[in-house]
Amino acid sequence: MLTNVFNPKTSRRSLMPMLRRSLILVLVFVVTLAPTLAVRPDTAHVLVPSHPTHGTEHTAAMDSINVTQLMESIANSVSHVRIENLTRDLSTGYPARTWDIDTDTPSDSLVQAWNWANESLMALTGGELWFRNATKYHALYAIKQGIGAVPRQAIIITGVIDSLQIAGANDVAVSVAAVLETARVLQNLSLYCDVYYVLTSAGRVDPDHDLGASSFVDWLTENDIEIITAIAYDRLLFHRSQYPFGLNIALRSLLDSSLYQRDSWISDLMILFSRDYGNGLLRTLVDKGSSTRSFAYEMWLRGIPAVYVSQGYYHDSASGTSDDTYDYYYYSYEKAAEAVASVSAMAYLVGLFGAGKALLYSSQGTVTPTTEVSCDIVTNIRQYVNASITWLNQSTIRANIIRETTGETVYQRVESDGHITLKYLATEPGMYRVVVELAEGNNTTVSLQVVHSNDCDGDSLSDEYEVSHGLNPYLLDSDRDGLSDDFEISIGSDPREGDSDNDGALDYDEYIWGSDLLLNDTDHDNITDGEEAALGISPVDPDTDGDGINDYDEVYVYHTDPLNVDTDGDGLQDAYEITMGLNPLSRDTDGDSLSDMFEVLNHIDPTLRDTDGDGWTDAYEVYHCMSPTSPDTDGDLLPDAWDWDPTDHWVTAVAPVSVLAAILLLAVFAFLKHRKYIKTGGS
């Protein structure tokens, strides 16, 4: 029979398992949701918040998820012997599973290891799962399909299958065994999300980067896989108390996020399981350590949450050397099994959050002067913590709520009447513990029930609320419009519709522009906001270019540019041209080759080719120095059309001729006079 270190009956933690077996107290521990939300009657498609109801209590309803029962089933199903056997078979049967980085080709041993991994996965899942491959590094991946609505979000569980020129049991065969065992444990469980089981190659050929992981993360992104979280298994076996964190499994996560759900929430869920159902080996470390060459690190680089799971003391003397065989005497498969069980429990819980149900915890036992009853939870939403504690005799009971990150008792009550009700507003996310102690009197039996809500995506809306209102509890932004669900509710838009007012513009874009997310024509210019966005004009200003013409008229009546005050670039604004009867689309309205601006400046009619009606076009008159505004340029009473020289008065031409004629006449007269004088002899 396979042994199992996760059975609470064999746990080395003596206090909690003992108390869990012997309790009889009823503690109803409720985590009140964020404000309940209602549908506004006048806009039935829009979700709006109602007033918060403080301290609303859950009951152990049929639709609650019995976390205690489910976690115990996970603890009872993981086998360290199976993990050891898988590690042995891979490392001894297929040593030197290498990837040639120069030719980007696998060794024969690596190809055979791929086939072994596929056969093992099929055997462990009853033929339901098998590996496919992707990317140039031939990453193996198998998908456990969830039962939620498509498209489903995914949890990614990864290991590395290629090794150096060694057996590579801890580096990295045990990570493959961990992925396979996780797949076996989760196979018959119904989850609302998908689970991807991934084995990457080319993970050990570069001393600084996991090339195979980087390539597969890109593949996930290219295929629009929406990721809830990822787990990257690495070395798990080294177990020596003489080394820093030598007895621990270290968890490292994306620690630069302001959102708890993307930061340490997943790690806290795993630690909670390890502490309550295992040997408490898991702990978080804030340094990056060896994680810089891992699948998790590649996720972090892209801003995607992931947890790196490895032995606490990473650089042991055996891993990655010829001593790295499956039976090395400092290796502990119980340690690897605790990591696998904690990951499996986390994945199971997260996979059930899609149902939108409250979480129910239960236990029973006896409180004495030396023993206590406690309940651990992880809260990730601002909510009221409500606890109801009952006991059978007149003993005095003290109940405390403790925030575990600080050890501070944030709430306490003492009663002796057989019942305590606690109500505390948990404003900070993280791990909390409710502790029930015997303050005075005889030992007494108590029963414990804990029910609380969850916010998987970190949008401040409980999963229960989101599911009941058609939202996705795994996504901050259910309609993928760029605005989180809680924010849309706060501003009155519909978090289920990317375009709440159906105007062709996404809610996010409208919010950025300042337009009304619930009004399809914010500026009332008769063009929908979406159409205005497509045209590049303002949805909040009916006259985008400020030229005095409504955008609608510019687009559909005058066909002018609503972004340009002077569409034709003639120096005259469109509004002026329209008012004056000019063509705002033409620099020369009358087609006389003189620009409208020139004609206006020179008091020429830009709508007429011949302003003065003298038969000459304005352009001809300008080019020939005639007046386009006067039919008689030289004022000689001869119309320009008849005048042989319309630019010169006839007087200026007649006067010289008269003088010349007079001179000639005078000369003739003088000549004749002289001639007569000669003939008469001078008398």
Task: Sketch the domain layout of the chain as residue ranges.
Answer: 16-54+358-495, 82-354, 652-683
Q: Tell how far CA 254 is from the center of its chain.
A: 15
pLDDT at 57 exceeding the cut of 50? no
Residue 630 is predicted with a pLDDT of 56
CA 555 to each of CA 470, 523, 532, 536, 567: distance values in angstroms, whole numbers, following the listed order: 39, 15, 10, 12, 12
Least confident of 62-66, 83-87, 519-523: 62-66
Least confident of 366-380, 469-483, 581-595, 625-639: 625-639
CB 181 within 8 A of CB 162: no
**In this structure, what is the dihedral angle of CA atoms 664, 670, 672, 677, given to the nearest 10 degrees?**
-170
Sign of the dihedral through C-alpha 472, 475, 476, 482: negative
- The first and second tokens of residue 281, run together, are 């080996």
pLDDT band at 15 (very low <50, low <70, confident <90, very high): very low
Residue 23 is predicted with a pLDDT of 36
Least confident of 48-52, 147-151, 322-326, 380-384: 48-52
Average pLDDT over the chain reads: 84
CATH number of the domain located at residue range(s) 16-54+358-495 in this protein:
2.60.120.380
Residue 52 is predicted with a pLDDT of 33
Least confident of 86-95, 138-147, 158-167, 489-498: 489-498
Collapsing DSSP to helix, strand or coil, 398 comes out as strand
pLDDT band at 515 (very low <50, low <70, confident <90, very high): confident
pLDDT at 304 exceeding the cut of 70? yes
Residue 349 is predicted with a pLDDT of 96
Q: What is the mean pLDDT of residues 564-572?
A: 85
ω into 540 cis (within 30 of 0): no
Residue 21 is predicted with a pLDDT of 36
Residue 30 is predicted with a pLDDT of 37
pLDDT band at 505 (very low <50, low <70, confident <90, very high): confident
Pairing of strands 419-426, 383-390: antiparallel
pLDDT at 683 exceeding the cut of 60? no
User: Which residue did the predictor score with more confidence, 71 or 9?
Assistant: 71
- The first and second tokens of residue 549, run together, are 């013409």
Sign of the dihedral through C-alpha 595, 601, 604, 607: positive
Amino acid letter, residue 373: V
Q: What is the mean pLDDT of residues 572-599?
A: 81
Residue 159 is predicted with a pLDDT of 98
Collapsing DSSP to helix, strand or coil, 467 comes out as helix
Residue 514 is predicted with a pLDDT of 84
Q: What percent of the chain has pLDDT over 70?
A: 83
Q: Tell me which fold the domain 82-354 belongs to.
A: Aminopeptidase (3.40.630)
Output helix, strand, coil percentages for the chain, rounded to the nearest 5: 30, 20, 50
Name the one residue in this structure whose structure tokens are 């299958």.
161
Residue 16 is predicted with a pLDDT of 39
- The first and second tokens of residue 221, run together, are 């992104």
Collapsing DSSP to helix, strand or coil, 198 comes out as strand
Collapsing DSSP to helix, strand or coil, 462 comes out as coil
Residue 387 is predicted with a pLDDT of 82
pLDDT at 616 exceeding the cut of 60? yes
Least confident of 36-40, 515-519, 569-573: 36-40
User: Which residue did the predictor score with more confidence, 643 or 441?
Assistant: 441
Least confident of 26-35, 65-74, 469-478: 26-35
Q: What is the mean pLDDT of residues 623-642?
A: 60
Least confident of 171-175, 192-196, 519-523: 519-523
Q: What is the pTM of this model?
A: 0.78
CA distance 163 to 72: 35
- The first and second tokens of residue 612, run together, are 């003065």
User: Which residue did the predictor score with more confidence, 303 or 670?
Assistant: 303
Radius of gyration of the chain (CA): 44
Helix ranges restricted to H, 146-224: 174-186, 211-222
The strand pairing partners of 233, in sequence order, are 309
pLDDT band at 657 (very low <50, low <70, confident <90, very high): low
Polymer length in residues for the chain: 683
Residue 274 is predicted with a pLDDT of 96
Least confident of 50-64, 205-219, 381-395: 50-64
Residue 54 is predicted with a pLDDT of 32
- The first and second tokens of residue 439, run together, are 């303050």
Instruction: Confirm whether 16-54+358-495 and 82-354 share one CATH topology.
Output: no
pLDDT band at 628 (very low <50, low <70, confident <90, very high): confident
CB 641 within 8 A of CB 615: yes
